[in-house]
Chain A
Amino acid sequence: MATTMVKEVGSEPAQLLGPESASERTLYPYVTGTSVVALKYKDGILMAADMGASYGSTLRYKSVERMKSIGKHSLLGASGEISDFQEILHYLDELILYDNMWDDGNSLGPKEVHSYLTRVMYNRRNKFNPLWNSLVLGGVKNGQKYLGMVSMIGVNFEDNHVATGFGNHLARPILRDEWHENLSFEDGVKLLEKCMRVLLYRDRSAVNKLQIAKITEEGVTISQPYALKTFWGFSAFQNPTVGAEGSW
């Protein structure tokens, strides 16, 4: 009986129905962003993310900014469901607004924002309705550099370099090998680009249009979108049909 009522009215929210109502909890992500990679360098944090958002196997959006500045001291990068990322930005807007309204000369640093995000993600996981994101939070406050990560179920940690999704498998090993304290800006960017290039070659949801963001004591700069140089001139790719006849 309840289900027929829905068909007639059309836009009744599920909660108004009886016990047979459908759950509105998140089951799976729809529009997703891929890896975010970040590292600490001499003056602060460098973070990179491409600008693609996929709808399953379709590359649906190609100009999505997956890194945003939060308040004066933090930079947030997100992979996973884009609509959940937008909702998180909305929560953070409110958080920063209330922080500013105190007008007490104090402002939330990256550690505090990371702690807030961890609580939000964990609480949503407790209610079985997660925000389907892996978040990277970096920043500098009073000379202290901070870089942390939160997953969709609330697992969180800080380190000298972090990466989400495929980045964990492909970029972290490169970073473990080549990262060191007090990287210069140029070396940091080169290292990030090396990681993003590997991801571009091997992650099928990666696109060749990325931004690199930098956060220092002075503030946040997010670069204009640009593309990485790639090399496809391997001899194996030349004349691909040579030797095809008669082979499997």
Chain B
Amino acid sequence: MTKQQANWSPYDNNGGSCVAIAGADYCVIAADTRMSTGYSILTREYSKICKLADKSVMASSGFQADVKALQKHLAARHLIYQHQHNKQMSCPAMAQLLSNTLYYKRFFPYYAFNVLGGLDSEGKGCVYTYDAVGSYERVGYSAQGSGSTLIMPFLDNQLKSPSPLLLPAQDAVTPLSELEAVDLVKTVFASATERDIYTGDKLEIVILNADGIRHEYMELRKD
């Protein structure tokens, strides 16, 4: 008798795009609010952004149940850290924790595509970009999710990040002002919405800077 094949998948792609851009003294993290399954929209108002610590904000797209579980896991670990060290986790520390958490499930991965944005200990913007099993690197900007292939080349063109191989090392953060960066993010999402069916409805933007945290929203096409 042939072995039974499963006729259900433990994974689903609930779509959406995430972007983060690091500036000299700010960081912009953005994601759309559409949640889909197959060719259906489940809801138009679902936030993919999660504030993990005072200076670390994560945006994740992919399989929503895994994303939720990952966010819960990291939030719990951060709470323990605060109890043990009486301080907030720094963004680089959270970046490492996220990588380790993802790799822990290397053989049954969290189907989550993450960008972590925040401010490092010097107050400079930092963005870390991940794959589903925890490979990560610090970059000046990144896009993940269903619209990433449409967004990333445009960001490469506009932000012209210097090669990380150069010596002496050059700053990856963009010289753009905070307002210019936010404007760029809005442009980028409006474009991705045109061609990616899983991106749209509304754009949620979180801006982290020395003054604290700020939210902005923008309507996107709903088709």
A→B interface (CB under 8 Å): 23, 27-28, 118, 122, 125-126, 128, 130, 132, 149, 151-159, 168-169, 172
20 sampled A-B residue pairs with Cβ under 8 A: A27-B6, A125-B65, A126-B108, A130-B10, A132-B8, A151-B37, A152-B8, A153-B9, A153-B12, A153-B65, A154-B68, A155-B12, A155-B14, A156-B65, A157-B35, A157-B43, A157-B46, A157-B64, A159-B43, A172-B40
* Contact A122–B40 (Cβ < 8 Å): no
**Contact flags B47-86 to A (C-beta < 8 A → 1, else 0):** 0000000000000000111001100000000000000000
**Contact for B8 among A130, A154, A159, CB less than 8 A:** A130
A141 to B6 alpha-carbon distance, docked (Å): 40
Q: Nearest-CB distance from B109 to chain A (Å)?
A: 12
Closest B-chain residue to A125, C-beta based?
B10
Tell me which of A130, A153, A159 has the highest count of chain B C-beta atoms within 10 A of its own C-beta: A153
Q: Nearest-CB distance from A38 to chain B (Å)?
A: 13
A130 to B10 alpha-carbon distance, docked (Å): 9
* Contact B69–A122 (Cβ < 8 Å): yes
Chain B count of residues within 8 A CB distance of the other chain? 23
For B41, list chain A residues within 8 Å (CB): 172
A103 to B20 alpha-carbon distance, docked (Å): 48
For B65, list chain A residues within 8 Å (CB): 118, 122, 125, 153-156
A222 to B196 alpha-carbon distance, docked (Å): 42
B2 an interface residue at 8 Å Cβ cutoff?
no
Tell me which residues from 73 to 105 in chain B have a Cβ below 8 Å from any Cβ of chain A.
none
Known: A168-B40, A168-B42, A169-B40. Contact between A156 and B8, CB under 8 A? Answer: no
* Contact B40–A155 (Cβ < 8 Å): no
B156 an interface residue at 8 Å Cβ cutoff?
no
For B137, list chain A residues within 8 Å (CB): none
Q: Nearest-CB distance from A58 to chain B (Å)?
A: 20
For B35, list chain A residues within 8 Å (CB): 157
Tell me which residues from 1 to 45 in chain B have a Cβ below 8 Å from any Cβ of chain A.
4, 6-12, 14, 35, 37, 40-43, 45
Q: Known A-B contacts: A158-B43, A172-B41. Give 7 more (CB < 8 A).
A: A125-B65, A153-B10, A153-B65, A155-B64, A155-B65, A156-B68, A157-B64
Q: Nearest-CB distance from A8 to chain B (Å)?
A: 19
For A158, list chain B residues within 8 Å (CB): 43
Q: Nearest-CB distance from B21 to chain A (Å)?
A: 27
Closest A-chain residue to B65, C-beta based?
A154
**Contact for B45 among A151, A154, A159, A168, CB less than 8 A:** A159
For A159, list chain B residues within 8 Å (CB): 42-43, 45
A155 to B65 alpha-carbon distance, docked (Å): 5
Tell me which of A27, A118, A132, A154 has the highest count of chain B C-beta atoms within 10 A of its own C-beta: A154
Known: A122-B69, A168-B40. Contact between A156 and B7, CB under 8 A? Answer: no
For A132, list chain B residues within 8 Å (CB): 8
List 10 A-B pairs, minimum CB-CB distance, nearest first.
A154-B65, A159-B43, A157-B43, A155-B64, A155-B65, A168-B40, A122-B65, A157-B46, A125-B10, A27-B4
Q: Nearest-CB distance from A36 to chain B (Å)?
A: 14
Tell me which of A128, A130, A132, A155 has the highest count of chain B C-beta atoms within 10 A of its own C-beta: A155
A155 to B41 alpha-carbon distance, docked (Å): 13
Q: Nearest-CB distance from B51 to chain A (Å)?
A: 19
For A172, list chain B residues within 8 Å (CB): 40-41
* Contact A155–B43 (Cβ < 8 Å): no
**Contact for B42 among A23, A130, A157, CB less than 8 A:** A157
